[in-house]
Structure 1
Amino acid sequence: LIADNTQSESDAVQSLRPHLVYIAEALIECIDINDIEKAAHAYEVFTLLFAVMPIVDCSSGEKEPAGDISEEEHRLIQLSKKLKEVVLKFVDKTFVIIDALATNAPSAAGLESVGTIKDSEAARKQGSDEIAMEGCIAHAFGTLFSHTDAEMGKVLCEKVLVFARTSLLDNSTAAGIITNIIIDCVFEHPACVDDFLEYIVNEIGEVVDEDTQKAEHVDGMAAWLAALAPGFCFLQSSDVHANLEDLLEMAKRLLACKNKVMYEAGCACMNSLVLSLLGT
C-alpha cells in the first residue's frame, strides 16, 4: 500500500460477485462428452458456484429487498434473471451428457445386467472417468436443488420429470445419474412429490403386470422404470407417510418379479422407504 494514497481500501477493491454469473455461463461449454475429465472439473466448479449463488430470480423487483441497496446489489438483482437462464442451460446440457453416456457406453452396461458379473466388467470398461463424472454431476445437482427457491425449484423439477418420462436409457450409469437427480428433486422440493409419484406409480402399475413379473428377461421400459423407482422412494418422512400405500404397492410389484434387476429394484425401494421413515 502507498502511504499517501487517499483512496480508502474499500473503495479500491471491487467485488467479483457479479462476474460469477458470466463465469458460470462460460463454464457450460466445458461440459463436453468428448473430454470427460474436463467435464468432471466443470461440474466441480459448478458445485462451488451454486453453493455461493442462491438461484432466485429477483429481476422483476418483487423480491427486491426493502430500503437502500448498493449499486453492486442492484446489479446482482438484475443479473439474477440471467443466472436463471444459465441454470436452465446447465440442466439441458447435462441431459445431453446423460443421453451421450447411454449412447457411447458399452452394451454390457445395460440395465438388464445391473448387479451381475457382466455389469462389473462393463464398469471396468467404462473406466474411472465416467464413474467420477457420475459423482460430480450428483454433487452439482444436490447443491443446485438445495440453493433454489420454490419457484425455480418447480421449474427444474418439471424439466427433470419430462426428461424421465421421455427417455429410455438402457445404461446403468445414465440411470444412476438421473436417479440421483430425482432424489434431489423430491427431497429438496416436496411440493413436486405428487407429480413425480403419480408418474412412477401409474407407469409401474401398467408396465409391471403378471407377465412381466413371471419373465426372466424384461423389456427396456420395465428395466428403465425399475432403475428410476428407488429414487422416487427417498422422500421426507412426511411425504412417505402421506403416500405409503402407493409406494408399498409399487415396491411389492417389483419384489414379485422373477427378473433379478426388477427384484433388486424392489429391495432398493424398500430400503429407501425405511431410511426415509427413519429420517436418515
Structure 2
Amino acid sequence: MTDQAVRCYRHPDRETGIRCSRCERPICPECMVNASVGFHCPECVRDARREAQATGPRTVAGGSVAGDPRLVTKILIGLNLAVFLLVQALGDRLGDRVVTDLALVGAACDRSGCFGVALGADQWYRLLSSMFLHQELWHIGFNMLSLWWIGAPLEGLLGRTRYLVLYLLSGLGGGALVLLLAAPNGATLGASGAIFGLFGATAVFMRRLRYEMRPVLILLALNLAFTFLWAGISWQAHIGGLVTGALVAVGMAYAPRERRALVQWGTAAAMLLVVLVVTWAAVSRITG
C-alpha cells in the first residue's frame, strides 16, 4: 500500500490539510503565515514582499491595493441611483422616453419610429445603458443591496480594474443572451445580469481559496429560484451574467503568477468576443 496522506512540502513527516492560498502547496501549522485571504507559505510571503517593494502591494488576483477598496462599487451604485432618480424626476412622458431610449430591445416600434439593437450598430449601446436602468423602487433597492453585499468584498479581492471589467462583461453577457433567446420586442433593464456575474465570481474565488462554499451556494440557489418562480424576471439576463462572470473569474483566479496578466486579460478579451458573436447571432435571428 502507498501512503496517500498530504504532507507539508517543507516538513515531509507532517500531515496537513491546509494549502497555501497562492501556490497551493501543502503547509503545516509551523509554515502557515496568516494573510488577508487564507494562509501563505514562507516562500510566497517572501515573493509577495519582493513584489510589493517593486510594484506596490497586490490583491489576490494581482490588482493594485487601493486606499478605498469599495470605490468602484460606490460609483456603480451612484450611477444606478442617478439614472433612477432622473427617470422619476422627469415624470411619466419624458421618463418613459428615457426608458425607451436606454432599455435593451431587440427590435420594436412606437409612434416615434422603430428602434432596437437589431436596427444597426448605433443601437448596440443598449447592451450597456440598460445595465444602469431601473423603474421600480423594489427593483433598484434589491439590486443595489446585492451589489453592495456581493460586490464590495469582491472589489477588495480583485482590485478596481479587474472588478470593473468583471462587472461590465457580466452585464454584457446577460444582455447578449437576452437578445438571443428572449422576444425581440420586449424591453429588458436592470443590473441583475452583472450582479449574477458577481455571484458566480464569488463562488469561483471561494473555491479557489478553499473557503466554505455552502453560504454562497445557498444564496445563489435562492436567487436562481427567485429568477424562475417570480413573474417578469429575465432569466436569460441572470443566467448569461452568471455564466460570464464565473468564466471570467476562473481566468482571474487560476491564472499562473508568471503569466497572470496575459491569462486574465486574455480571458476577458475572449469573453468580450463571445458576447459580440452572440449579439451578432441574435441580430441575425431577429432580422432574418
- TM-score normalised according to structure 2 size: 0.30
More helix by proportion, 1 or 2? 1
